[in-house]
Amino acid sequence: MRTRIAVAARWLPLAALAVFAPAAAQTSAGPGDPGGPVFQPLLADPKEPQFFAAYLWEDSPRLAPRLGSVGFGQTIAVMSARAWQVAIAAAVFSQFNLARPTADLMNTDYRVGLPVTYRHARVTARLQLYHQSSHLGDEYMVHANAQRVDLTFEAAELLVSQQLAAWRVYGGGEYVFTHSPADLKPGVLHGGVEYRQPGVLLHLGRVATGRVVAALDAKSFQDRGWDVGWSAITGLELGDPRARPEGGWRWSMLVRAYTGPAPYGEFFRDRVASLGVGLGLAL
């Protein structure tokens, strides 16, 4: 079973984008609503502040074979001036062992940042200072006799994105300037591509419209010898019919896949692969 999960997780990133490639030449909406975020949240980044709940089949040396993964987070603008915006981004990410009747909490990551974003035409940029700390669940520590790793760090992130019709590409990196453990290496390279269907696939009257979305996110970690973590999503996004495709409230029903260094803080030096389904909400 674990071998099948690993193989599927490796192939889904390419399939998720290739299926909808013929529609890429169509016209999409602009980079955002006037009052919305300047830099749109990344669809497939496992550590992007967002609301989601997912059921995952996991291939991992220490994590459970079935995980419940949840995220609670949002980026809130506090000051805007022409093309600039200053915001606060905060999120909590947790994973639960669904292979046990007690659904033990395994890991929780806390993240808070101060992103400054800029837009020029269809190019946007995000400069962010953020803090992350990670903690093992008490039940997991008791049942697995596990020892906590003191993973805490502050990092500076710079990302630049370009809207190309129905596609968005982005790239940049991070530098971890304060960290524990002391031997944590500081460099992260980060890039990806997103697709949002420009037309409407599904009409639900005046309640919602549905469109296909797909995204592939990649992070390369110096601490893991520049090993790459690949994260992919694809599925249906339901949004406010009165808003632009990337504006307003949005519900999503997505297939998720990941392979690479674990995105779960306390297990960051493990290599994992996962495949699952989930629901998301963007406000």
pLDDT at residue 205 above 60?
Answer: yes
Q: How far is CA 189 from the centre of its chain?
A: 15
> What is the SS3 assignment for 2?
helix
The alpha carbon torsion through 205, 207, 212, 213 (nearest 10 deg) reads 160
Stretch 198-204: mean pLDDT, rounded?
89
The per-residue pLDDT for 10 is 46
The per-residue pLDDT for 61 is 92
Stretch 153-176: mean pLDDT, rounded?
97
Stretch 155-173: mean pLDDT, rounded?
97
Lowest-confidence segment of 16-20, 134-138, 148-152, 249-253 by average pLDDT: 16-20
Residue 35: band (very low, low, confident or very high) from pLDDT cuts 50, 70, 90 = low
pLDDT (tens digit, 9 = 90+) per residue, 183-198?
999 999 999 999 999 9
Compute the distance between CA of residue 131 and CA of residue 134 in angstroms, rounded to an integer. 10
pLDDT at residue 1 above 70?
Answer: no
The per-residue pLDDT for 245 is 60
The per-residue pLDDT for 11 is 46
Q: Which residue is listed with tokens 């390369």?
A: 220
Q: Which of 213, 131, 115 is nearest to 172 (CA)?
A: 115
Compute the distance between CA of residue 33 and CA of residue 136 in angstroms, rounded to an integer. 39
pLDDT at residue 93 above 90?
Answer: yes
Stretch 74-92: mean pLDDT, rounded?
95
Q: Which residue has the higher pLDDT, 265 or 10?
A: 265
pLDDT (tens digit, 9 = 90+) per residue, 217-234?
999 999 999 999 999 999
pLDDT (tens digit, 9 = 90+) per residue, 15-34?
444 434 333 333 333 444 44
Compute the distance between CA of residue 259 and CA of residue 277 in angstroms, rounded to an integer. 15
- The chain-wide mean pLDDT, for the chain, equals 88
Structural domain range at position 12: 2-282
Compute the distance between CA of residue 268 and CA of residue 161 in angstroms, rounded to an integer. 27
User: What is the Cα Rg of the chain in Å?
Assistant: 19
Say how many residues make up the chain. 283
pLDDT at residue 44 above 90?
Answer: yes
The per-residue pLDDT for 246 is 65
In terms of DSSP bridges, do strands 227-239 and 105-120 run parallel, antiparallel, or are they unpaired? unpaired
Compute the distance between CA of residue 223 and CA of residue 169 in angstroms, rounded to an integer. 25
Cα–Cα distances (Å) from 274 to 41, 55, 174, 185, 213, in that order, read 22, 10, 24, 25, 20
Q: What is the CATH number of the domain that holds 97?
A: 2.40.230.10
In terms of DSSP bridges, do strands 250-261 and 84-97 run parallel, antiparallel, or are they unpaired? unpaired
pLDDT at residue 67 above 50?
Answer: yes
Stretch 64-91: mean pLDDT, rounded?
95
DSSP secondary structure of 177-217: EEEESTT---EEEEEEEEEE-SS-SEEETTTEEEEEEEEEE
Decide if 168 contacts 123 (C-beta within 8 A). no
Lowest-confidence segment of 87-101, 194-208, 253-267 by average pLDDT: 194-208
Compute the distance between CA of residue 252 and CA of residue 283 in angstroms, rounded to an integer. 12
The per-residue pLDDT for 231 is 98
pLDDT (tens digit, 9 = 90+) per residue, 94-132?
999 999 999 999 999 999 999 999 999 999 999 999 999
> What is the SS3 assignment for 104?
coil
pLDDT at residue 243 above 90?
Answer: no
Number of domains in the chain: 1
Decide if 151 contacts 180 (C-beta within 8 A). yes
